[in-house]
């Protein structure tokens, strides 16, 4: 019998896996990638009797590979909060999926394990930009303000670590990061003792400052579109910057775009809080779109489709153009640090 752990390399995927492996330590084959690497199951060669644990990647994007694994006799445990479509009914499939937008994958694993390693679920939720869920999870832990802030910072840093399009973009590869994380039972020890976490935090703040120094390429009373340059820092910060914009102005829609190497674009979208249109529904109108209710993206938008994307973005959230984007870039060092937090 072989074991495979297949997971998104962002904070939510890493923290979901950490909880499961603290509860059930085992020697597994790690299959992961950057935040936009979604179709991971196709590389898994599991067969009869093997066990595959899948975390934080869309079932809909991995449907064919999942059915092939089940046909070959593998047992699959699937935890996720992204759009799934129809979930197959199969005796060897355990599917713990919630598309409501209220829970991230780390929270689903926390519920599955009865809260045994809840601090990791708090980290995963903060990393996924789900502050309300993180705060609810943290309440029974009775954390002091310093520890609470450290878990939040850790989640944001772990999530930032996964953004990039190649090894050259990131400070640490997702597979290496999860091995580092696996040595720590308490996430606070990881935050305090592991040097890479501090380096991630410093780089993240610098990258967010760079993003805020730019201006939105399109802005309206209800939303904004930001086009970042074809540089490593921009590819790293795309999701973190989108989360920060959504935190500052939760009732506006935000889109952050960076170029790819193949004459195409990557798009990260945040829907307005309380709006009727979900981010995932908007992004799924594009060929490589997906995500969750609040946060979604398009993995490959052809360059020539950018104008059409902006028009669709306007139409989706009922926008009319205005001259100045919001929010303005932070001006003082203190403001810049607060904006990057």
Look up residue 334 and give its two tokens.
């203190």
Contact between residue 243 and residue 129 where contact means Cβ atoms under 8 Å apart: yes
Contact between residue 256 and residue 265 where contact means Cβ atoms under 8 Å apart: no
What's the pLDDT tens digit per position in 313-323? 999 986 543 33
Q: Tell me, what's the pLDDT at 338?
A: 47
Query: What domains lie within the chain, and their CATH numbers?
Result: 3-193 (3.90.1640), 211-340 (3.10.310.30)
Nearest to 162 by CA among 12, 40, 284: 12
What's the pLDDT tens digit per position in 67-97? 999 999 999 999 999 999 999 999 999 999 9
Would the pLDDT of 334 be above 50?
no
Q: Tell me, what's the pLDDT at 261?
A: 83
Would the pLDDT of 120 be above 70?
yes
What are the phi and psi torsion angles at 152 (to 5°)? -65, -50
**CA distances, 302 to each of 64, 82, 259, 309, 318 (Å):** 25, 23, 10, 10, 24
Would the pLDDT of 174 be above 50?
yes
Q: Tell me, what's the pLDDT at 327?
A: 45
Mean pLDDT of all residues in 126-151: 95
Q: Tell me, what's the pLDDT at 328?
A: 43
CA distance 3 to 1: 7
256: Cβ contacts below 8 Å, ≥ 6 apart: 211, 225, 226, 228, 238, 239, 241, 242, 245, 267, 268
What's the pLDDT tens digit per position in 23-57? 999 999 999 988 878 889 999 999 999 999 999 99
Would the pLDDT of 330 be above 80?
no
SS3 string of the chain?
Answer: CCEEEEECCCHHHHHHHHHHHHHCCCCCEEECCCCCCCCCHHHCCCCCCCEEEEECCCCHHHHHHHHHHHHCCCEEEEEECCCCCCCCCCCCEEEEECCCCCCCHHHHHHHHCCCCCHHHHHHHHHHCCCHHHHHHHHHHHCCCHHHHHHHHHHHHHHHHHCCCCCHHHCCCCHHHHHHHHCCCCCHHHHHHHCHHHHHHHHHHHHHHHHHHCCCCCEECCCEEEEECCCCHHHHHHHHHHHHHHHHHCCCCEEEEEEECCCCEEEEEEECCCCCCCCHHHHHCCCCCEEECCCEEEEEEEEHHHHHHHHHHHHHHCCCCCCCCCCCCCCCCHHHHHHHHC
Contact between residue 256 and residue 235 where contact means Cβ atoms under 8 Å apart: no
């Amino acid at each position: 019998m072989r074991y495979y752990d297949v997971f998104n390399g962002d904070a939510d995927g890493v923290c979901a896996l950490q909880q499961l492996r603290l509860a059930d330590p085992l020697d597994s084959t790690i299959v992961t990638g950057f935040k936009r690497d979604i179709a991971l199951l196709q590389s898994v060669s599991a067969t009869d009797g093997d066990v595959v644990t899948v975390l934080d990647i869309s079932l809909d994007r991995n449907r064919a590979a999942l059915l092939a694994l089940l046909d070959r006799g593998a047992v699959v445990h699937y935890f996720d909060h992204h759009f799934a479509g129809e979930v197959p009914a199969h005796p060897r499939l355990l599917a713990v999926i919630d598309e409501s937008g209220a829970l991230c994958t780390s929270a689903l694993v926390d519920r599955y394990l009865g809260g045994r390693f809840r601090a990791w679920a708090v980290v995963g939720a903060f990393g996924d930009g789900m502050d309300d869920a993180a705060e609810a999870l943290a309440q029974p832990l009775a954390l002091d303000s310093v520890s609470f802030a450290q878990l939040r910072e850790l989640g944001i840093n772990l999530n930032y670590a996964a953004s990039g399009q190649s090894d050259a973009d990131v400070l640490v590869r997702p597979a290496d990061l999860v091995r580092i994380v696996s040595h720590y039972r308490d996430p606070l020890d990881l935050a305090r003792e592991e040097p890479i976490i501090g380096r991630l935090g410093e780089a993240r703040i610098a990258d967010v400052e760079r993003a805020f120094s730019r201006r939105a390429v399109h802005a309206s009373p209800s939303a904004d579109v930001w086009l970042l340059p074809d540089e490593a820092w921009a590819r790293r910060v795309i999701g973190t910057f989108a989360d920060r914009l959504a935190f500052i102005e939760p009732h506006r829609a935000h889109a952050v775009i960076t170029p790819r190497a193949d004459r195409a674009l990557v798009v990260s979208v945040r829907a307005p809080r309380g709006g009727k249109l979900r981010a995932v529904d908007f992004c799924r109108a594009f060929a490589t779109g997906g995500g969750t209710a609040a946060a979604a993206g398009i993995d490959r938008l052809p360059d020539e489709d950018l104008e059409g994307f902006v028009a669709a973005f306007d139409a989706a959230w009922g926008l009319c153009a205005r001259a100045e984007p919001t929010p303005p870039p932070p001006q003082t060092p203190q403001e810049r640090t607060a904006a990057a937090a």
